[in-house]
Chain A
Protein backbone atom coordinates (compact mmCIF):
# COMPACT_ATOMS: atom_id res chain seq x y z
CA UNK A 1 0.00 0.00 0.00
CA UNK A 2 1.58 3.25 -1.11
CA UNK A 3 1.86 6.22 1.15
CA UNK A 4 0.78 8.91 -1.31
CA UNK A 5 -1.48 11.69 -0.18
CA UNK A 6 -3.61 14.29 -1.89
CA UNK A 7 -4.95 17.56 -0.53
CA UNK A 8 -8.61 18.48 -0.74
CA UNK A 9 -9.69 22.08 -0.15
CA UNK A 10 -13.33 21.90 0.86
CA UNK A 11 -15.90 24.63 1.43
CA UNK A 12 -17.15 24.97 4.99
CA UNK A 13 -20.18 27.03 5.85
CA UNK A 14 -22.04 26.77 9.14
CA UNK A 15 -25.47 28.44 9.01
CA UNK A 16 -26.01 30.90 11.82
CA UNK A 17 -22.30 30.89 12.70
CA UNK A 18 -20.49 31.81 9.48
CA UNK A 19 -21.27 34.90 7.41
CA UNK A 20 -19.36 33.68 4.37
CA UNK A 21 -18.05 30.24 3.41
CA UNK A 22 -14.39 29.43 4.03
CA UNK A 23 -12.09 26.73 2.68
CA UNK A 24 -10.71 23.95 4.86
CA UNK A 25 -7.79 21.74 3.83
CA UNK A 26 -7.79 18.01 4.37
CA UNK A 27 -5.09 15.51 3.50
CA UNK A 28 -6.46 12.17 2.36
CA UNK A 29 -4.74 9.01 1.10
CA UNK A 30 -4.35 8.89 -2.64
CA UNK A 31 -5.78 5.78 -4.27
CA UNK A 32 -5.77 5.58 -8.05
CA UNK A 33 -9.25 4.07 -8.09
CA UNK A 34 -10.81 6.57 -5.69
CA UNK A 35 -13.22 9.25 -6.72
CA UNK A 36 -13.70 12.60 -4.96
CA UNK A 37 -16.72 11.12 -3.18
CA UNK A 38 -14.48 8.41 -1.68
CA UNK A 39 -12.17 11.15 -0.42
CA UNK A 40 -15.11 13.04 1.10
CA UNK A 41 -16.36 9.85 2.78
CA UNK A 42 -12.86 9.24 4.13
CA UNK A 43 -12.84 12.78 5.59
CA UNK A 44 -16.28 12.29 7.13
CA UNK A 45 -15.49 8.85 8.57
CA UNK A 46 -11.91 9.35 9.73
CA UNK A 47 -11.02 13.02 9.94
CA UNK A 48 -13.94 15.41 10.40
CA UNK A 49 -17.44 14.12 10.99
CA UNK A 50 -18.93 17.63 10.83
CA UNK A 51 -18.51 17.89 7.04
CA UNK A 52 -21.92 17.80 5.31
CA UNK A 53 -22.64 16.77 1.71
CA UNK A 54 -25.18 14.80 -0.30
CA UNK A 55 -24.55 11.44 -1.92
CA UNK A 56 -26.32 8.16 -2.47
CA UNK A 57 -25.76 5.62 -5.22
CA UNK A 58 -22.05 6.45 -5.82
CA UNK A 59 -22.41 5.24 -9.39
CA UNK A 60 -23.77 8.17 -11.39
CA UNK A 61 -27.49 7.42 -11.50
CA UNK A 62 -29.04 9.19 -8.52
CA UNK A 63 -27.84 12.75 -9.20
CA UNK A 64 -27.23 13.53 -5.50
CA UNK A 65 -23.49 14.19 -5.35
CA UNK A 66 -23.13 17.15 -7.72
CA UNK A 67 -20.45 19.64 -6.58
CA UNK A 68 -17.84 21.97 -8.09
CA UNK A 69 -14.55 20.11 -8.48
CA UNK A 70 -11.80 22.57 -9.46
CA UNK A 71 -14.50 24.97 -10.67
CA UNK A 72 -16.24 22.44 -12.90
CA UNK A 73 -19.68 21.09 -11.94
CA UNK A 74 -19.28 17.34 -11.60
CA UNK A 75 -20.74 14.28 -9.93
CA UNK A 76 -18.16 13.62 -7.23
CA UNK A 77 -18.71 9.90 -7.74
CA UNK A 78 -17.46 10.35 -11.30
CA UNK A 79 -14.46 12.61 -10.57
CA UNK A 80 -11.38 10.42 -10.23
CA UNK A 81 -8.57 11.57 -7.93
CA UNK A 82 -6.04 10.35 -10.48
CA UNK A 83 -7.21 13.04 -12.93
CA UNK A 84 -6.15 15.74 -10.46
CA UNK A 85 -3.29 14.16 -8.48
CA UNK A 86 -0.77 15.40 -7.44
CA UNK A 87 -2.41 18.82 -7.67
CA UNK A 88 -4.78 19.94 -4.96
CA UNK A 89 -8.50 19.46 -5.45
CA UNK A 90 -11.04 22.19 -4.66
CA UNK A 91 -14.47 20.88 -3.72
CA UNK A 92 -17.17 23.55 -3.51
CA UNK A 93 -20.96 23.54 -3.48
CA UNK A 94 -22.69 23.81 -6.87
CA UNK A 95 -22.60 27.46 -7.96
CA UNK A 96 -25.75 29.47 -8.66
CA UNK A 97 -27.53 27.90 -5.70
CA UNK A 98 -27.92 29.16 -2.12
CA UNK A 99 -25.77 27.18 0.30
CA UNK A 100 -27.46 25.52 3.26
CA UNK A 101 -24.35 24.12 4.87
CA UNK A 102 -20.83 23.15 3.64
CA UNK A 103 -21.43 21.40 0.29
CA UNK A 104 -25.21 21.14 0.57
CA UNK A 105 -27.23 23.53 -1.60
CA UNK A 106 -30.87 24.55 -1.53
CA UNK A 107 -32.60 22.96 -4.50
CA UNK A 108 -36.13 24.18 -3.82
CA UNK A 109 -36.00 26.62 -6.76
CA UNK A 110 -35.21 23.78 -9.12
CA UNK A 111 -37.99 21.62 -7.66
CA UNK A 112 -40.51 24.42 -8.16
CA UNK A 113 -39.41 24.97 -11.74
CA UNK A 114 -39.44 21.26 -12.51
CA UNK A 115 -43.02 21.00 -11.29
CA UNK A 116 -44.02 24.05 -13.34
CA UNK A 117 -43.29 22.29 -16.65
CA UNK A 118 -45.68 19.47 -15.66
CA UNK A 119 -43.23 16.62 -16.26
CA UNK A 120 -45.88 13.93 -16.49
CA UNK A 121 -48.12 12.47 -19.17
CA UNK A 122 -51.00 14.83 -19.94
CA UNK A 123 -53.88 13.44 -21.96
CA UNK A 124 -57.30 14.74 -22.94
CA UNK A 125 -58.72 11.36 -22.04
CA UNK A 126 -57.19 8.24 -20.60
CA UNK A 127 -57.32 5.04 -22.62
CA UNK A 128 -59.23 2.39 -20.68
CA UNK A 129 -57.20 -0.67 -19.72
CA UNK A 130 -59.45 -2.83 -21.90
CA UNK A 131 -58.15 -1.01 -24.99
CA UNK A 132 -54.61 -2.15 -24.23
CA UNK A 133 -51.31 -0.32 -24.05
CA UNK A 134 -50.17 2.83 -25.82
CA UNK A 135 -48.03 1.68 -28.73
CA UNK A 136 -44.96 3.48 -29.98
CA UNK A 137 -42.75 2.86 -32.99
CA UNK A 138 -38.98 2.93 -32.53
CA UNK A 139 -38.97 6.30 -34.36
CA UNK A 140 -41.48 7.74 -31.89
CA UNK A 141 -39.28 6.55 -29.03
CA UNK A 142 -36.21 8.08 -30.66
CA UNK A 143 -37.89 11.48 -30.58
CA UNK A 144 -37.71 11.79 -26.79
CA UNK A 145 -35.71 8.92 -25.30
CA UNK A 146 -32.44 10.79 -24.85
CA UNK A 147 -34.23 13.41 -22.73
CA UNK A 148 -35.58 10.81 -20.32
CA UNK A 149 -32.05 10.22 -19.06
CA UNK A 150 -31.98 13.32 -16.85
CA UNK A 151 -31.14 12.45 -13.23
CA UNK A 152 -31.92 15.94 -11.87
CA UNK A 153 -28.33 16.41 -10.74
CA UNK A 154 -28.47 20.15 -11.53
CA UNK A 155 -24.92 20.34 -12.88
CA UNK A 156 -26.43 22.12 -15.89
CA UNK A 157 -27.82 24.89 -13.67
CA UNK A 158 -24.34 25.45 -12.25
CA UNK A 159 -22.82 25.53 -15.71
CA UNK A 160 -25.39 28.01 -17.03
CA UNK A 161 -24.32 31.66 -16.62
CA UNK A 162 -27.84 32.79 -17.52
CA UNK A 163 -29.26 30.96 -14.48
CA UNK A 164 -26.62 32.67 -12.39
CA UNK A 165 -27.54 36.10 -13.79
CA UNK A 166 -31.31 35.59 -14.06
CA UNK A 167 -32.55 33.44 -11.17
CA UNK A 168 -36.03 33.44 -12.74
CA UNK A 169 -34.77 31.44 -15.74
CA UNK A 170 -36.48 28.06 -15.97
CA UNK A 171 -33.15 26.39 -16.65
CA UNK A 172 -31.79 23.56 -18.82
CA UNK A 173 -33.07 20.46 -16.99
CA UNK A 174 -36.62 21.73 -16.50
CA UNK A 175 -36.91 22.73 -20.16
CA UNK A 176 -35.34 19.46 -21.33
CA UNK A 177 -37.85 17.50 -19.24
CA UNK A 178 -40.75 19.57 -20.55
CA UNK A 179 -39.46 18.88 -24.05
CA UNK A 180 -39.25 15.15 -23.22
CA UNK A 181 -42.98 15.08 -22.57
CA UNK A 182 -43.84 17.41 -25.45
CA UNK A 183 -42.05 15.06 -27.84
CA UNK A 184 -43.65 11.91 -26.43
CA UNK A 185 -46.33 10.72 -28.85
CA UNK A 186 -48.50 9.55 -25.97
CA UNK A 187 -48.58 13.04 -24.44
CA UNK A 188 -51.11 15.73 -25.39
CA UNK A 189 -49.91 18.46 -23.05
CA UNK A 190 -47.92 20.83 -25.34
CA UNK A 191 -50.44 23.66 -24.99
CA UNK A 192 -50.53 23.31 -21.22
CA UNK A 193 -46.78 23.61 -20.97
CA UNK A 194 -46.41 26.39 -23.52
CA UNK A 195 -47.00 29.36 -21.22
CA UNK A 196 -44.14 28.18 -18.99
CA UNK A 197 -41.69 26.79 -21.54
CA UNK A 198 -42.52 29.46 -24.14
CA UNK A 199 -42.88 32.20 -21.54
CA UNK A 200 -40.45 35.04 -20.90
CA UNK A 201 -38.51 33.08 -18.26
CA UNK A 202 -38.60 29.90 -20.30
CA UNK A 203 -36.56 29.20 -23.41
CA UNK A 204 -36.24 32.88 -24.36
CA UNK A 205 -33.71 33.65 -21.64
CA UNK A 206 -31.34 31.06 -23.09
CA UNK A 207 -28.56 32.48 -25.26
CA UNK A 208 -27.26 29.06 -26.33
CA UNK A 209 -23.98 29.15 -24.50
CA UNK A 210 -24.07 25.36 -24.54
CA UNK A 211 -22.25 24.69 -21.27
CA UNK A 212 -25.24 22.79 -19.90
CA UNK A 213 -24.75 20.08 -22.50
CA UNK A 214 -20.99 20.04 -21.86
CA UNK A 215 -21.36 19.14 -18.18
CA UNK A 216 -24.35 16.79 -18.36
CA UNK A 217 -23.20 13.39 -17.08
CA UNK A 218 -26.03 11.53 -18.84
CA UNK A 219 -25.63 13.09 -22.31
CA UNK A 220 -29.13 14.48 -22.26
CA UNK A 221 -28.09 17.50 -24.40
CA UNK A 222 -30.40 20.05 -22.78
CA UNK A 223 -29.09 22.77 -25.09
CA UNK A 224 -30.56 20.90 -28.07
CA UNK A 225 -33.88 20.49 -26.23
CA UNK A 226 -33.99 24.23 -25.53
CA UNK A 227 -33.15 25.35 -29.09
CA UNK A 228 -35.66 22.92 -30.59
CA UNK A 229 -38.23 24.16 -28.08
CA UNK A 230 -37.54 27.71 -29.31
CA UNK A 231 -38.27 26.61 -32.87
CA UNK A 232 -41.46 24.85 -31.78
CA UNK A 233 -42.61 27.80 -29.69
CA UNK A 234 -41.94 30.17 -32.58
CA UNK A 235 -43.89 28.00 -35.03
CA UNK A 236 -46.74 27.82 -32.51
CA UNK A 237 -46.62 31.61 -31.96
CA UNK A 238 -46.81 32.45 -35.68
CA UNK A 239 -49.46 29.80 -36.30
CA UNK A 240 -51.73 31.06 -33.56
CA UNK A 241 -51.19 34.63 -34.79
CA UNK A 242 -51.86 33.96 -38.47
CA UNK A 243 -54.38 31.15 -38.12
CA UNK A 244 -56.30 31.96 -34.93
CA UNK A 245 -59.11 29.52 -35.57
CA UNK A 246 -58.82 26.06 -34.05
CA UNK A 247 -57.58 27.47 -30.73
CA UNK A 248 -58.80 25.84 -27.54
Chain B
Protein backbone atom coordinates (compact mmCIF):
# COMPACT_ATOMS: atom_id res chain seq x y z
CA UNK B 1 0.00 0.00 0.00
CA UNK B 2 2.08 2.89 -1.28
CA UNK B 3 0.90 6.46 -1.35
CA UNK B 4 0.37 8.99 1.36
CA UNK B 5 1.67 7.11 4.40
CA UNK B 6 0.73 9.03 7.50
CA UNK B 7 3.29 9.26 10.31
CA UNK B 8 0.60 9.43 12.98
CA UNK B 9 1.42 5.92 14.27
CA UNK B 10 4.95 7.09 15.15
CA UNK B 11 3.75 10.00 17.31
CA UNK B 12 0.96 7.91 18.79
CA UNK B 13 3.44 5.19 19.79
CA UNK B 14 5.58 7.80 21.57
CA UNK B 15 2.44 9.31 23.11
CA UNK B 16 1.44 5.90 24.45
CA UNK B 17 4.88 5.07 25.81
CA UNK B 18 5.02 8.48 27.47
CA UNK B 19 1.56 7.94 28.92
CA UNK B 20 2.57 4.65 30.49
CA UNK B 21 5.76 6.11 32.00
CA UNK B 22 3.87 9.12 33.31
CA UNK B 23 1.08 7.00 34.75
CA UNK B 24 3.29 4.61 36.71
CA UNK B 25 6.20 6.83 37.73
CA UNK B 26 5.37 10.54 37.79
CA UNK B 27 3.17 10.65 40.93
CA UNK B 28 5.84 9.19 43.23
CA UNK B 29 8.49 11.49 41.77
CA UNK B 30 6.27 14.49 42.42
CA UNK B 31 6.06 13.35 46.04
CA UNK B 32 9.86 13.04 46.24
CA UNK B 33 10.87 16.17 44.32
CA UNK B 34 7.97 18.39 45.33
CA UNK B 35 7.52 17.47 49.00
CA UNK B 36 9.83 14.87 50.56
CA UNK B 37 13.16 16.54 49.79
CA UNK B 38 12.23 20.28 49.98
CA UNK B 39 10.36 19.76 53.27
CA UNK B 40 13.27 17.80 54.73
CA UNK B 41 11.54 14.44 55.14
CA UNK B 42 14.33 12.81 53.08
CA UNK B 43 17.73 14.40 52.54
CA UNK B 44 19.23 14.52 49.06
CA UNK B 45 22.66 15.70 47.87
CA UNK B 46 21.97 14.81 44.25
CA UNK B 47 24.82 12.32 44.14
CA UNK B 48 22.39 9.60 43.03
CA UNK B 49 21.77 11.36 39.72
CA UNK B 50 25.41 10.99 38.72
CA UNK B 51 25.29 7.21 38.23
CA UNK B 52 24.93 6.21 34.59
CA UNK B 53 22.07 3.79 35.18
CA UNK B 54 20.12 6.43 37.10
CA UNK B 55 20.71 8.82 34.20
CA UNK B 56 19.32 6.23 31.78
CA UNK B 57 16.23 5.90 33.98
CA UNK B 58 15.88 9.69 34.22
CA UNK B 59 16.17 10.03 30.45
CA UNK B 60 13.19 7.69 29.99
CA UNK B 61 11.26 9.28 32.88
CA UNK B 62 11.65 12.84 31.61
CA UNK B 63 11.73 12.64 27.82
CA UNK B 64 8.98 10.12 27.01
CA UNK B 65 6.17 11.94 28.85
CA UNK B 66 7.14 15.08 26.90
CA UNK B 67 5.89 13.29 23.76
CA UNK B 68 2.78 12.33 25.65
CA UNK B 69 2.25 16.03 26.45
CA UNK B 70 3.04 17.13 22.89
CA UNK B 71 0.49 14.82 21.23
CA UNK B 72 -2.26 15.42 23.77
CA UNK B 73 -1.76 19.19 24.01
CA UNK B 74 -1.64 19.55 20.22
CA UNK B 75 -4.98 17.77 19.82
CA UNK B 76 -6.52 19.59 22.80
CA UNK B 77 -5.57 23.01 21.38
CA UNK B 78 -6.99 21.98 18.00
CA UNK B 79 -10.22 20.89 19.66
CA UNK B 80 -10.45 24.19 21.56
CA UNK B 81 -10.58 26.19 18.34
CA UNK B 82 -6.91 26.73 17.43
CA UNK B 83 -7.11 24.53 14.34
CA UNK B 84 -6.35 27.46 11.97
CA UNK B 85 -2.84 27.75 13.46
CA UNK B 86 -2.26 24.01 13.68
CA UNK B 87 1.02 24.05 11.77
CA UNK B 88 2.79 26.44 14.20
CA UNK B 89 1.14 24.49 17.04
CA UNK B 90 2.59 21.22 15.74
CA UNK B 91 6.05 22.78 15.61
CA UNK B 92 5.64 24.13 19.15
CA UNK B 93 4.38 20.84 20.59
CA UNK B 94 6.34 18.13 18.81
CA UNK B 95 9.30 20.41 18.33
CA UNK B 96 9.16 21.27 22.01
CA UNK B 97 9.29 17.59 22.92
CA UNK B 98 12.32 17.07 20.68
CA UNK B 99 14.07 20.12 22.17
CA UNK B 100 13.23 18.82 25.63
CA UNK B 101 14.74 15.45 24.74
CA UNK B 102 18.02 17.04 23.63
CA UNK B 103 18.06 19.31 26.70
CA UNK B 104 17.60 16.23 28.89
CA UNK B 105 20.48 14.42 27.22
CA UNK B 106 22.73 17.50 27.47
CA UNK B 107 21.95 18.09 31.14
CA UNK B 108 22.33 14.43 32.12
CA UNK B 109 25.72 14.32 30.41
CA UNK B 110 26.90 17.48 32.22
CA UNK B 111 25.99 16.30 35.69
Chains A and B touch (C-beta atoms under 8 A apart): yes
- Residue of B4, B8, B76, B83 near A204 (CB, 8 A) is B8
Q: Does A161 belong to the interface (CB within 8 Å)?
A: yes
Select which of A162, A194, A238 is within 8 A of B13 by beta carbon. A238
- Docked Cα-Cα span, A238 to B9, in Å, equals 8
Known: A161-B79, A207-B79. A234 touches B3 (CB 8 A): no
Determine whether the beta carbon of A200 is less than 8 Å from that of B79: no
Tally A-B pairs: CB < 8 A: 37
Please give, as numbers and ranges, the residues of chain A lying within 8 Å of B12 by CB-CB distance.
Answer: 204, 230, 234
**A residues within 8 A CB of B78?**
165
B6 at the interface (CB under 8 A from A): yes
Q: Is the CB–CB distance between B79 and A162 below 8 Å?
A: yes
8 A Cβ contacts from B1-39 to A: 1, 3-6, 8-10, 12-13
> Is the CB of A189 closer than 8 A to any CB of chain B?
no
Mark contacts of A163-205 with chain B using CB atoms, 8 A cut-off: 1 yes-contact digit, 0 otherwise: 0010000000000000000000000000100110011100010
B3 contacts A195, C-beta separation under 8 Å: yes
> B76 contacts which chain A residues (CB < 8 A)?
207
B59 lies within 8 A of chain A by Cβ: no
User: A194: which B residues are within 8 A, CB to CB?
Assistant: 1
Question: Are A199 and B75 also in contact (CB < 8 A) when A165-B83, A204-B12, A234-B13 are?
Answer: no
Task: Write the chain A residue with the least CB distance to B7.
Answer: A237
Min CB–CB distance B80 → chain A (angstroms)? 9
Contacts of A162 in B (CB 8 A): 79
Q: Is the CB of B79 within 8 A of A195?
A: no
Decide: B9 and A237 in contact? CB cutoff 8 A: yes
Q: Nearest Cβ distance between residue A86 and chain B, in whole angstroms?
A: 37
Q: Which residues of B contact A161 (CB under 8 A)?
A: 79
**Cross-chain contact B6 with A204 (CB below 8 angstroms):** yes
- Cβ contact of A200, chosen from B6, B10, B13, B72, cutoff 8 A: B6
Closest Cβ–Cβ distance, residue A164 to chain B (whole Å): 10
Size of interface on B: residues with Cβ below 8 Å to A: 16
A233 on the B face (CB < 8 A): yes
Contact B1 A200 (CB under 8 A): no
A175 to B75, CA, bound (A): 20
Q: Which residue of B lies closest to A203 (CB)?
A: B8
Given the known inter-chain contacts A161-B79, A165-B79, A207-B75, please indicate yes or no for A195 contacting B1, CB distance below 8 A.
yes
Q: Mark B44-84, 1 if CB is under 8 A from A, else 0.
A: 00000000000000000000000000001001101100010
CA A233 to CA B11, docked complex, whole Å: 13
Contacts of B8 in A (CB 8 A): 200, 204
Q: Which residues of B contact A198 (CB under 8 A)?
A: 6, 9
3 nearest A-B residue pairs (beta carbon)? A237-B9, A204-B8, A234-B9
26 contacts between A and B (CB under 8 A): A162-B79, A165-B78, A191-B1, A194-B1, A195-B1, A195-B3, A198-B6, A198-B9, A199-B4, A199-B6, A200-B4, A200-B6, A204-B8, A204-B9, A204-B12, A207-B79, A230-B9, A230-B12, A234-B12, A234-B13, A237-B5, A237-B9, A237-B10, A238-B13, A247-B1, A248-B1
Further pairs besides A195-B1, A200-B4, A238-B9: 20, Cβ < 8 Å? A162-B79, A165-B78, A165-B79, A191-B1, A199-B4, A199-B6, A200-B6, A200-B8, A204-B6, A204-B8, A207-B72, A207-B76, A230-B9, A230-B12, A233-B9, A234-B9, A234-B12, A237-B9, A237-B10, A248-B1
